[in-house]
Structure 1
């Protein structure tokens, strides 16, 4: 049977329990039509790149499906009807990804980074623009600050005026 990756976005207003119920409803539709959900991942509430149907955030859910195309058609029909689903995308793949998806690996990596503590600004020398912290500002001597340049030099009145266009 064909393999599919299916991601749907549920409204931010929906509780986590409602999203889980929606996921079990979709899973039961898939299994009822002879398909199988190989993997289910909930990516949680994430910010959207742009507003969709007046929503700035949404619950993201990934389903790896092993089933005929009729299963996907019915799942997408159900999601079009459901008001809690903002958007969905189904992609046919040659093989399903083993282990956690890229989004889950990214979340783990971010969590590990937070465990290390701090941020780039806590390095020796302070923030990049912090004058007292030792930042010397590029390749200029004296820290990059030029100071007052003094008054402008007088205009050169001897410069020729631009030639006016003449009609012939």
Structure 2
């Protein structure tokens, strides 16, 4: 099956657990349609470059999936209809990289530099 990476931005007024619940919800949509959720990350609340729906910040969520195209299309359709989801980006990749994503590695690097001071 094809491999995909998805980044989703949810509204800033959600709690962290509600935002992570979106991953569970949309991961369930994938598994119902024959795919599987390989990995997931919650990147936290970040400031966006421009306003989206009058929001300056948003919860960033990342998913790695292994699913057929119709399952991904159905998940994207439901994401776009969901009131809490502001933006979705899906990219087809050749392989999933092991370990945390680049966003999570940056946070780890900052923490280790802070400890060295």
Name the TM-score class by shorter chain: over 0.9
- Corresponding residue for 1:162? none
- Is residue 2:81 matched to residue 1:96? no
Q: RMSD of the alignment, in Å?
A: 0.9
- Corresponding residue for 1:41? 41
Name the SS for the 1:10 alignment partner: strand
- The count of aligned residue pairs is 117
Of Structure 1 and Structure 2, the greater helix share is in 2
- Is residue 2:27 matched to residue 1:58? no
CA–CA separation in structure 1 for the residues paired with 2:17 and 2:41:
14
- Corresponding residue for 2:87? 87
CA–CA separation in structure 1 for the residues paired with 2:32 and 2:94:
23
Unpaired runs of at least 5, structure 2? none
Of Structure 1 and Structure 2, the greater strand share is in 2
CA–CA separation in structure 2 for the residues paired with 1:11 and 1:109:
27
Q: What is the deviation of 1:116?
A: 2.7
CA–CA separation in structure 1 for the residues paired with 2:64 and 2:29:
14
Unpaired runs of at least 5, structure 1? 118-168
For the pair shown, the structure with the greater C-alpha radius of gyration is 1
Name the SS for the 1:83 alignment partner: coil
Name the SS for the 2:59 alignment partner: strand
1:110-158 CA distance string (max 9 Å, x none): 11122233xxxxxxxxxxxxxxxxxxxxxxxxxxxxxxxxxxxxxxxxx
- Corresponding residue for 1:2? 2
- Corresponding residue for 1:115? 115
The 5-angstrom pairing of residues 127-146 of structure 1 reads none
CA–CA separation in structure 1 for the residues paired with 2:115 and 2:71:
42
CA–CA separation in structure 2 for the residues paired with 1:111 and 1:54:
32
Greater RCO, CA 8 A, separation 6+:
2
